[in-house]
Copies of this chain bind each other. A is one copy, B any other.
């Protein structure tokens, strides 16, 4: 195992790259999709099953964990890896995004954000310094700067003002993080959909210096076209030799488009959340398992898929257990979705390494255009 954090690009195809991030807890093959383990669990999955889908790294949510069971408790219990029984790398977000989306009665200042817990109404404070402390207590391998971002669309001056505060917070995050060999700190580019602001943000981050760089502030309501518009230039503003992470993305076609534009890492709750609501991702599109057309269908979700849900169960069974509200429905559909996402990433990595990304992407879209297999 590497004793320090590192990143090697091993292959390129157009703007897309494939490579490996090395950490003391294991390698992360890129482009990488990180399943989200919000409250110290990828919902409805055992960690060994998450690993079996091909995941090299999980994402943990600082906001949720600081409220329950608390970072101090996780630290006393030996850190987040031991706590949740996942010994491979973990990336934690800074808590900033979820304070904005989940908490009540928040009050933001240059210093940080004061807010009330959505669980019990208790009062808490997050700042760059406190976020770094929490992520250190959790034992996170990849720590994210504490930042702030407005929902889009937003007036340019709002986006600019917010970005500049995030850059000051990035410096404070860097200072508070200190020197922690084997652990990485990532900066987060902001600037909405305005190229000049993205450039200003990238310059500020590179000036400070980070182990990796996230494209932040996207997937917040701007739509895929606007997101791809930003991704046409934003990754190129960030250092070539560091991983580039697109936060909170996305749907399979978002992922493919982002990888084509030079993104190395992504995360999203979509595969696990959809699993619980009866949506399954397949090469031919989305299957809504609750639909009555699956009631008598003996076929698996996807005949070419090797996940446990597809190897062992019919659509009829998955329909039945979803309708009956059985936990196994969430377990099997989540497993299938995570398997699908990881298989997509493996396909992208192989295609980039072999210089056939365009053909891979063309086939990806062609299969989806066929639509889901028709019912019997």
Contact = CB atoms under 8 A, between A and B. Distances in A.
A326 B324 CA distance: 19
A326 B272 CA distance: 13
A330 B40 CA distance: 15
A106 interface: no
B295 A328 contact: no
Given A83-B316, A314-B77, A320-B68, A43 B326 contact: yes
A178 interface: no
B44 A298 contact: no
Given A298-B78, A327-B330, A316 B69 contact: yes
A45 interface: yes
Contact of A77 (B39, B76, B298): B298
A101 B308 CA distance: 35
A84 interface: yes
A313 interface: yes
A316 B69 CA distance: 9
A48 B117 CA distance: 40
A327 B43 contact: yes
A344 interface: no
B84 A326 contact: no
B78 A296 contact: no
A226 B46 CA distance: 42
B46 A317 contact: no
A323 B39 CA distance: 11
B298 A39 contact: no
A331 interface: yes
Copies in the complex: 2
Nearest to A326: B41
Interface size class, chain A = 35 or more
Interface in A311-362: 312-314, 316-317, 319-321, 323-324, 326-328, 330-332
Contacts of A85: 312-313, 317
B40 A83 contact: no
Interface in A66-83: 68-69, 73, 76-78, 83
A327 B331 contact: yes
A173 to B, nearest CB: 27
Given A68-B320, A78-B298, A44 B313 contact: no
A40 B78 contact: no
A229 to B, nearest CB: 38
Given A68-B323, A324-B39, A83 B317 contact: yes
A40 B230 CA distance: 49
Nearest to A330: B327
Contacts of A295: 69, 73
Contact of A331 (B78, B83, B326, B331): B331
Contact of A327 (B44, B83, B308): B44
29 contacts: A39-B320, A39-B321, A40-B317, A40-B321, A41-B321, A41-B328, A44-B327, A45-B328, A46-B328, A46-B332, A68-B323, A68-B324, A69-B295, A69-B316, A69-B319, A73-B296, A73-B316, A77-B296, A77-B298, A77-B314, A77-B316, A77-B317, A83-B314, A83-B320, A85-B312, A85-B313, A85-B317, A327-B327, A331-B331
